[in-house]
Amino acid sequence: MSTTHYVRSRVLLEDSLAADYTQADTHSNSDATTPTKVVTSKGDAAVAGTTIELGNFTTVERCILYNLEATNAIRFQARCILTAAKAYADIAFDGTAHTIVDGAAAGTFITDGSLVNGFVRIASAADSEHNDARSIITVTDADTLVLTDAGEVNGDTIQTNASDSVTIQFEGTIQGTIPAGAAAIINNLVPQKDLVLTAVTAVGSFEAVITGT
């Protein structure tokens, strides 16, 4: 049985000319979500990298990472969902040319989230062998994607005709550095891919709060 959590995130920035922040200009923002799963994890990020598995989530709406170190920075890398999975009614795959073409010429691949060096996931239920999003987009326009390797999305019999209805999800890699004592907020992570934390100079302590379903 799932339990609804009421989670509110707040960000506050204070800008002052005084060290004690008197007469500071403040800028704040907050939002509220209702996830059914909240997981808190504390650990040490290794120089060789430390993995946080997300596979026990169906969706990961937010991850807040705290660098608990006094001097050392921590890097993070994760896969994020650029837009929600969308059904296309007329998709053709070409394993030789490594392309995915929208036969309906709707012209929405770019506005739907495709970008160079991003990933494409075939999210249709029948495509479980070919939906691990290993294919990297090298060229994109409104109706055609060119991939580094279309083999993963070319073998399913459901995808052999140009009139196939296929659900596609566009994903991208997000990475950054969290300075000592700071935090980072990452949204819409891909649960099939792990979050990796890497200490920059020495092992660094962190705390992660992950919300979703």
Q: What pLDDT band is residue 164 in, cutting at 50, 70 and 90?
A: low
Which CATH code of 3.30.70, 1.10.3290, 2.40.50, 2.60.120 fits the domain covering 37-73+179-212?
2.60.120
Question: How is domain 86-172 classified at the CATH fold level?
Answer: Elongation Factor Tu (Ef-tu); domain 3 (2.40.30)
Please, how many CA atoms are within 13 Å of residue 170, restricted to the half-sphere of its CB?
Answer: 20
Q: What pLDDT band is residue 154 in, cutting at 50, 70 and 90?
A: very low
Dihedral (CA of 110, 168, 157, 57) sign: positive
> How many Å apart are CA 25 and CA 4, to the nearest integer?
36
Query: What's at 99, amino acid-wise?
Result: T
Domains of the chain, by residue range, sit at 37-73+179-212, 86-172
> How many Å apart are CA 146 and CA 118, to the nearest integer?
11
pLDDT the model gives residue 128: 47
- pTM assigned to the model: 0.82
Residues 6+ apart with CB under 8 A from 140: 109, 110, 114, 115, 116, 118, 146
Per-residue pLDDT for 62 more than 80? yes
Residues 6+ apart with CB under 8 A from 176: 75, 76, 184
Each residue's pLDDT tens digit, 68-121: 999 999 999 999 999 888 888 888 777 677 788 888 888 899 999 898 988 888
Per-residue pLDDT for 186 more than 90? yes
